[in-house]
């Protein structure tokens, strides 16, 4: 049975709470991303802009909380007196860190880490979808603008007698 100091156990308790907060922030971010997909389908530019502003605030808050998570994790690792690297050379994972704690703290850390991991995966999938949609929309609009700005001007002769295209843009207005 692993024995940890009271200070390290309190830090682990704080880490569990923080992981729950992060999972909540990521869940809210995912909700807004789904709302943005709906706004894109409806071509609601105002709603897209509003959601993007809220997403930015949430992402900033999540980044701040992630910094705090790293600090708490570093203090726990130091308090445990273990290396901050796992056997593969990368940073120690929360799952690996949880193994240093007795129950019920171990399970609390594992559940909190799994919940956050699930939300991060959901956000990543939504981000990929939104990126694909945005990229396709930009390509489409680029082609539309090329056609609109290409012009359908007629060839005319300049003062020097050379033929040149007037390049008048054929801009039209669609109403409906």
Q: pLDDT (tens digit, 9 = 90+) per residue, 19-51?
A: 999 999 999 999 999 999 999 999 999 999 999
Can you spell out the DSSP letters for 24-88? Answer: HHHHHHHHHHHHHHHHHHTT-HHHHHHHHHHHHHHHHHHHHHHHHHHHHHHHHHHHHT--SB-TT
**What is the tens place of the pLDDT at every residue in 46-88?**
999 999 999 999 999 999 999 999 999 999 999 998 877 777 7
Q: Determine the average pLDDT of the residues in 133-145.
A: 90
Q: Specify the pLDDT at position 82.
A: 87
Count of C-beta atoms within a 10 Å radius of residue 154: 8
Separation of CA 114 from chain center: 18
Question: pTM for this one?
Answer: 0.78
| Token reading at 57 | 């605030």
Burial class (CB in 10 A: 0-12, 13-18, 19+), 123: middle
Q: Specify the pLDDT at position 174.
A: 60
């Amino acid at each position: 049975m692993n024995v940890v100091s009271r200070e390290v156990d309190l830090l682990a308790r704080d880490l569990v709470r923080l992981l729950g907060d992060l999972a909540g922030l990521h869940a809210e971010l995912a909700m807004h991303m789904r709302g943005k997909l709906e706004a894109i389908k409806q071509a609601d530019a105002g709603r897209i802009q509003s959601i993007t502003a809220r997403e930015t605030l949430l992402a900033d808050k999540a980044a701040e909380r992630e910094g705090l998570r790293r600090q708490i994790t570093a203090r726990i690792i130091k308090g445990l007196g273990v290396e901050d690297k796992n056997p593969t050379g990368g940073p120690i994972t929360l799952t690996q860190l949880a193994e240093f704690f007795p129950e019920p703290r171990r399970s609390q850390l594992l559940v909190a880490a799994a919940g956050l991991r699930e939300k991060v995966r959901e956000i990543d999938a939504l981000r990929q979808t939104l990126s694909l949609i945005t990229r396709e929309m930009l390509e489409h609009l680029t082609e539309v603008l090329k056609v609109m700005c290409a012009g359908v001007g007629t060839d005319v002769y300049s003062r020097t007698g050379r033929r040149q295209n007037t390049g008048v843009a054929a801009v039209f207005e669609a109403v409906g």
